[in-house]
Amino acid sequence: MPSSLRLAILITDIAFLAYWMVGLASLAGLFALPASLMYADYDNPIVVAWNWSFLPLDLAFSVAGLLAVAAARRGDSRWRGLALLSLSFTMAAGGMAVSFWAIRGEFDPAWFLPNLAIALWPLCFLPHLLSNPTVNSP
């Protein structure tokens, strides 16, 4: 696994796991998140449900990505399939969020730009992984 892909996966997946842990801790009443850090209409039950609907997809790409990194470290060639799955799910999650905020006309850079980055960064790696199935294999 190229080190740039490993770093991108680790940053993204660890950040998403931290995001959901903070969200769960806040939901459990362990602390309140400041309104300034929240997305638009964070108190609207429909928008809250929309946000939580990403949990399974975000967990799937995070787990797949971390498993890909672990497999690559072990020299297990299955890292490629796990990485492809992780990158595809990452793009889907980012694309869905960008579409949602764009449809609503909400272009708050604090939420829109990170989601746009999540939708686009996998494109730096997917073409190479798909066209060169054995290159960079451990």
The reported pLDDT for the residue numbered 134 is: 64
Residue 137 lies in a domain: no
Domain interval for residue 98: 3-131
Nearest to 112 by CA among 23, 36, 40: 40
Q: Which residues contact 55 (CB under 8 A, 6 or more apart)?
A: 20
The reported pLDDT for the residue numbered 40 is: 85
Query: Do residues 83 and 61 touch, judged by C-beta distance below 8 A?
Result: no
Residue 113 lies in a domain: yes
Residue 138 lies in a domain: no
The reported pLDDT for the residue numbered 138 is: 46
Burial state string for 106-127 with b = 16 or more CB within 10 A and e = fewer than 16: eeeeebbeebbebbebbeebbe
Regions in the chain scoring below 50 on pLDDT: 137-138
Residue 126 lies in a domain: yes
Q: Please write the tens of the pLDDT for every residue from 11-35.
A: 999 999 999 999 999 999 999 888 8
Q: How many domains does the chain divide into?
A: 1
Residue 136 lies in a domain: no
Residue 69 lies in a domain: yes
Residue 87 lies in a domain: yes
